[in-house]
Chain A
Amino acid sequence: MPLTRWSHAGGIAITLSALCCGSAVGQAVLPHDSACIAPLAYYPLDALEVGGDDHGVPVLGTYERISPDGRFILRSYSGARVGKVSLMELPESTGQVKIFRTPLANEAFPVQGTWRYLVDVNGEHYRLNAILLQQASARPLFKGGMTGFYAAASELTSSIDASATPKALASARQIILIRSLSWPQNADPDTQGVGPLQLATIAVEDDGQSARVVRRSGPTFICGGRTPVDGNVYALPMLSVDGTEFSAIPQVPRSGRPSMRVYGLAPQGDADAHPCDLRADLGLSPSKAVSGFARGGQAAWLAYSDLGYVYVHDRERQQTFRMDHGRHRVLASAFPGLTRDGRVIYGATWRECADAACPEQAGYVVADPYQSEAWRAYWRSRGEPMPKACITQAEVAAERADFARLHNLPR
């Protein structure tokens, strides 16, 4: 039975339980939406809805992927109560987390950048709003791209080569390019030296109702040329949200030690070769590094967790900022994400009090990196004003509206 029913026509979401409410820490109480968002907000899950462990702690799941507007979290290994993969919807302000079942399995992943589609590990693509409406009964639109564990996909913003577009497609219908990245698939062991990872690109014609793959390229081995420097085994690969970079940790580097690095890819969807140029090196081996959205011509920030804390890395300033904790014994999961407006969202466990007997909670944390102590201390130390003091409620509302419009969702 679905845990949340979403009546699309009426734009009403009804949940079966209203036992838990999100709570914000230090939120400015101002009447207009130019006010800052809360520096930190905690949204606990309800064990009655998601299932609990032996101690009654809500099951958190294992992997979290964050939608560009921060409204949804795609959660893998969700536990027996809510299925293998579920979608969590965070409340707009306060309220409870809403839960949607999905037909997806394993490490299902979104097409980053837009979340236009959610992808099962077998390559089947589902429209987000179909899953929200039909939940586990949703049907895939098409199949394509890389499959299997550690696959990731992003929507490219570059156009495809017009001369390579079939005449039949020279219409007003939207052509969407999706690049996906994963380990080499069905590759003969003898070809492992060709390249450590593979890319595939599909062109999808989507009229808003139906969608079909009209062109495929790849899988193509990439970054074989980096073997003399980085070896040919990369762990924790993750594609950037615009598909033009990926992060990974080389496991057998020829010099130095394994560290999270960012490499460049060709922006063109039909590129046969990729530069794989080194663009950043965090110098440590944290969890998977997830990219944010590039803004103002600057390189996208990265978010990652390390020993229970979440960090953002500003590549332009080559500075890393630790996100604050507003609860006791907070332990972040391995998959934080950045929204388009810059919020950091992650799964975590925490306690409301310092007492050892205080019950553990599990849920999601929304942090504003611009209100973190680390960000403020950095600018204080430089004696300069902060270029940005917070993310505003207006910015968040605008992202939510844009995302709802793209996906035909109720606000």
Chain B
Amino acid sequence: MADAARQAGFDVVAYRDARVLPAEWQAAVGSRGLVELRDVPVLDADVAAACGMLNHTPAAIVARCGRAHPWPILGVMPVATWRQVLQARSDALGVSCR
């Protein structure tokens, strides 16, 4: 999903859910060869709660020009659908950064 988002022109910043312990995280990303995810920061629990991201993992927030869309994208989904939702969130945030 991260690759699909990048291919669609989004920058992807990943965070580890604090409820996933470091050893478990390392084992999971290591088993899939996801080197770039090894040392991602931990998502602050208060931020996660404020963004509505605690009820389901994974969840994604789309931000543009310093503004985050208030609706998290929940769960995993087919690539075409994922890109469609990303684009909808981005469009809703507007096209200008002024």
Residues of chain A at the chain B interface (Cβ within 8 Å): 53-55, 149-150, 183-184, 187, 189, 192, 196, 231-233, 235-236, 249, 251-252, 257-258, 285-288, 305-308, 334
Contacts and interface: CB of A to CB of B under 8 A. Distances in A.
B23 A235 contact: no
Contacts of B57: 334
A184 B23 CA distance: 34
Given A257-B71, A285-B52, 19 more contacts: A53-B24, A55-B21, A150-B76, A189-B79, A192-B84, A196-B81, A231-B88, A233-B85, A236-B56, A249-B74, A251-B71, A251-B74, A252-B85, A257-B70, A258-B71, A285-B72, A285-B74, A286-B55, A334-B56
B94 interface: no
A128 to B, nearest CB: 27
A252 B23 CA distance: 36
Which of B23, B76, B78 is the most central at the interface, judged by chain A CB atoms within 10 Å of its CB?
B78
A82 B77 CA distance: 28
Nearest to A235: B74
Contact of A187 (B72, B74, B75, B78): B78
A54 B21 contact: yes
B55 A192 contact: no
A189 B49 CA distance: 33
Interface of B: 21-24, 49, 52, 54-57, 70-81, 84-85, 88
B72 to A, nearest CB: 8
Contacts of A184: 78
Contacts, number: 65
A258 B88 CA distance: 13
- Of the candidates A150, A235, A258, A288, the one having the most CB atoms from chain B within 10 angstroms of its own CB is A235
Contact of A288 (B49, B56, B71): B56
Contact of B73 (A53, A55, A235, A305): A235
B66 to A, nearest CB: 22
B71 A233 contact: no
B28 to A, nearest CB: 10
A306 B55 contact: yes
Contact of B78 (A53, A183, A251, A305): A183
A192 to B, nearest CB: 5
Contacts of A307: 49, 54-55
Nearest to A189: B80
A145 to B, nearest CB: 18
25 contacts: A53-B23, A53-B24, A54-B23, A149-B76, A184-B78, A189-B79, A189-B80, A192-B80, A192-B81, A231-B88, A232-B84, A235-B74, A235-B75, A235-B77, A236-B75, A249-B74, A251-B71, A251-B74, A257-B71, A285-B52, A286-B55, A306-B55, A307-B54, A307-B55, A334-B55
A53 B75 contact: no
A184 B82 CA distance: 13
Given A183-B78, A235-B74, A252 B88 contact: yes
A232 to B, nearest CB: 8
A287 B88 contact: no
A139 to B, nearest CB: 27
A251 B89 CA distance: 10
B77 A233 contact: yes
Nearest to B52: A285
Contacts of A150: 75-76
A232 B87 CA distance: 13
Nearest to A287: B55
Contacts of A55: 21
